[in-house]
Amino acid sequence: MLVPKGAVMIDNGNATLFVSDMDRAVEFYTQTLGLKLRRRFGNHWAEVEAGPDLVIGLHPATESSPAPPGTAGSVQIGLMVDEPLEEVISKLREQGVTFTGSVIDDEAGRFAYLSDPDGNTHYLWENKPQHEPA
C-alpha cells in the first residue's frame, strides 16, 4: 500500500458521543437499539459496535466537551437497518424511542430520525436495492 509522503496511516476509529448519564446511554444503545457493547471502562468510556464498520464511543460530558449532550446537530450517527424500515421503527417505538418527522424517501434510500436519551438526533436508513453495498 502506498502512503503519501508525510501522511499518517489511520487504521481504525470511532464516533465519540458525549453523554450525560453513562448507564442510561449504554442501556439505550445496547438494550434498546440492540447494538453490541465492545468494552466499558466504568463511567469513563464505553464502546458500542454498530456493525463491523462503526464504533460509537460513549464519553461522559465534561467542561471541556465540545458541546453539551443533546446539542442539536452536534453529532448524528446513521444506523443501517436490515429489516423494512417501518418494522424497525415500530419495534423501537414500542421500547419508547422517539422519532421526529416522517420517513424521508430519496434517491439513495429511506431515512427516519430518532432521539437518544440526551436528545441527540440520529437516523436509521434503509438502502434502496440499486444502492446496496457491494
DSSP secondary structure, 47-116, as one string: EEESSTT-EEEEEE--TTSSS-TT-TTS---EEE-SS-HHHHHHHHHHTT-EEEEEEEE-SSEEEEEEE-
CATH ID of 15-63+74-131, from 3.40.190.10, 3.10.180.10, 3.40.50.2300, 3.40.640.10: 3.10.180.10
Query: Using one digit for the tens of pLDDT, what is the confidence trace for 82-104?
Result: 889 999 999 999 999 999 999 99
Please tell me the least confidently modeled range out of 1-10, 74-83, 111-120.
Answer: 1-10
Collapse the DSSP code of 40 into the 3-class scheme (helix H, G, I; strand E, B; otherwise coil) and give the result. Answer: strand
Contact present, 56 and 40 (Cβ < 8 Å): no
- DSSP state at residue 60: E
Q: What are the structural domain ranges in the chain?
A: 15-63+74-131
pLDDT(71) > 70: yes
What is the per-residue pLDDT for 131? 52
Q: How far apart are CA 52 and CA 21, in angstroms?
A: 26
52-62 mean pLDDT? 89
CB atoms within 10 A of CB 17: 23
In which band, very low, low, confident or very high, does the pLDDT at 73 lie, cut at 50, 70 and 90?
low
Confidence (pTM): 0.74
Q: What is the largest CA-CA distance in the chain?
A: 52
